[in-house]
Structure 1
Amino acid sequence: MTPDQFIAKWKSAELTERAAAQSHFIDLCRMLGEPAPTDVDPKGDWYAFEKGATKTTGGEGWADVWKRAHFGWEYKGKRKDLNAAFAQLQQYALALENPPLLVVSDMDQFRIHTNWTNSVSKKYEFKLEDLRDAKIREQLKWVFTDPERLRPGKTRQALTEEAAGEFTSLRSVCAIAATTRKPSLISSIASFFACSQRTWTFCRIRCSSACLNTLRPGQTNFRP
């Protein structure tokens, strides 16, 4: 199946999630040149439709598609809430052996959420028509073949250290500004860091500098 054939077929489809999910996934596999679950694992031991899973909140459920050490995949009907689908999939993640990728789709949109431990989560998002782009199809193929290619570059520890570094720099400069009482310097500091909510949070929690008491996120005016 070519990308244009896949797009044409599913753009016009108005089936429910239950009626369309497996057919959509099989067509996607054909377009990407990947085997569908029943082609390679008829017992469903490591690659399966309707993989049973216990929710972290209790009770039983099913992930629409699961491939061990690759992904859990949840479908919703067209124009349904994909955030709800992701939340549902997160409840299954532990029972699915914590796959590195959590994918949700309403057949018009695709969202790939990374799920590695100690890594900053990243979301890859694209629409049905984007599948004409070879680079988008390559990213989607990695979901099936090489999830590591989608792993974010930063760990949570690295992100924390980066934010702490920003805070340290800001605190040092603010101390100078508060001492000198130069409005132009404080205004410049505020302008530079106004876009960083993360840095502002660090400052509010950990810094008692008189200078910071004059600043708010997005504000650049000095208040004596």
Structure 2
Amino acid sequence: MTYPEFEARWQVSGGAERANYGLFLTDFCDLLGVPRPDATTDDPTQDAYVLERAVTFDNGAGKGTTGRIDLYKRDCFVLETKQGTTKRTTEVQAERAKLGLSNPKLRKGHAVRGTATWQQVMESARQQALGYVRALPASEPRPPFVIVADVGYCIDVYSNFAGVGDNYAPFPDSQRFRVLLPELADEKIRERFQLLFTDPQRLDPARLAAKVTRELAGQLARLSAQLEQANHGTEVVATFLMRCLFTMFAEDTELIPADSFKGLLA
């Protein structure tokens, strides 16, 4: 499925979460080029990647209640869906009321998107997803991601790579954790979601930092060897490279004017 096809199918949806969420998620998989969920079995321990994954909540009195995760993929994520509605729906109904016309029974969804009530609904969905994480059997690891999707509108992403506790933080940060539908046209955004479905640990910032550190260490080692081969003393080379790194840090953190050291090197 191409993004224009995906957008044309879902940007007009609203107000019917239970009817829409399964279709939306399978189309989302097609857009990302990842496998669709498997069929649910009668054994939840076998349901590693399914819609409506059953979990049991322990009420502490020896009895349990059953909850169902909208989309679950073991070792990857717990996903909860909601569906809001646009402000336009409310405006149309108000205008018809002013004209004395009967209002069709339009689906209003959980709340008008962008309002304080809608924000509360999205937070409630996040808490619901965290409850599902806690209800997973002890034999199953806590997934690195919790996702909340407003069908056809946005996808909120939270991560916890430690694998313990409930500290799922906005991912990749508090400014970019909410991905609106049009942003899925960006191939890099889709690639991030592909990894979330297929190899989520590659998105761990700690692993990325370690990879960058190893690459940088290799570059510095080669540069150091070149300078020493040019008859510069080992101690002089080490001191020079340390000063360069500190100056780059000072430039990045704006302790000195932007691009001043980079311009000098050029």
Q: TM-score, normalised by structure 2?
A: 0.52
What CA deviation, in whole Å up to 9, does each residue of 1:150-206 have, x standing for no partner?
A: 22439xxxxxxxxxxxxxxxxxxxxxxxxxxxxxxxxxxxxxxxxxxxxxxxxxxxx
Q: Report the equivalent of 1:112.
A: 157
Instruction: Extract unaligned runs of 5+ from structure 1.
Output: 155-224
What CA deviation, in whole Å up to 9, does each residue of 1:28-86 have, x standing for no partner?
A: 01111111113xx5536211110111347673311101011111110001234211111
- TM-aligned CA distance change 1:150 to 1:82, over 3 Å: farther
1:24 maps onto 2:45 in alignment: no
1:82 maps onto 2:98 in alignment: no
The farther-off stretch of 111-120 and 19-28 is: 111-120
Q: Do the aligned residues in 2 keep the contact of 1:72 with 1:93 (CA within 8 Å)?
A: yes
1:2 maps onto 2:2 in alignment: yes
The amino acid across from 1:90 in the alignment is: L
Query: 1:48 & 1:120 partners in 2: Cα distance?
Result: 22
Q: Do the aligned residues in 2 keep the contact of 1:56 with 1:92 (CA within 8 Å)?
A: no
Aligned length: 152
Q: Report the equivalent of 1:71.
A: 77
- TM-aligned CA distance change 1:82 to 1:55, over 3 Å: farther
Query: 1:8 & 1:84 partners in 2: Cα distance?
Result: 28
Query: 1:42 & 1:60 partners in 2: Cα distance?
Result: 15
- TM-aligned CA distance change 1:29 to 1:16, over 3 Å: same
1:146 maps onto 2:199 in alignment: yes
Q: Report the equivalent of 1:62.
A: 68
Q: Report the equivalent of 1:135.
A: 188
Instruction: Extract unaligned runs of 5+ from structure 2.
Output: 85-112, 172-176, 208-266
Q: Report the equivalent of 2:133.
A: 93
Partner SS for 2:190: helix
Query: 2:205 & 2:53 partners in 1: Cα distance?
Result: 27
Q: Report the equivalent of 2:52.
A: 50
Q: Do the aligned residues in 1 keep the contact of 2:79 with 2:148 (CA within 8 Å)?
A: yes
The amino acid across from 2:127 in the alignment is: A
Identity %: 34
Out of 95, 100, 103, the position equivalent to 2:147 is 103
Give every structure 1 segment of 4 or more consecutive aligned residues whose post-TM-superposition deviation is greater than 6 Å.
Answer: none
- TM-aligned CA distance change 1:16 to 1:46, over 3 Å: same
The offset of 1:109, in angstroms, is 0.7
Partner SS for 1:83: helix
Query: 1:111 & 1:153 partners in 2: Cα distance?
Result: 21
The amino acid across from 1:145 in the alignment is: T
The amino acid across from 1:133 in the alignment is: D
Partner SS for 1:35: coil
Please tell me the root mean square deviation across aligned C-alpha atoms, in Å: 2.2
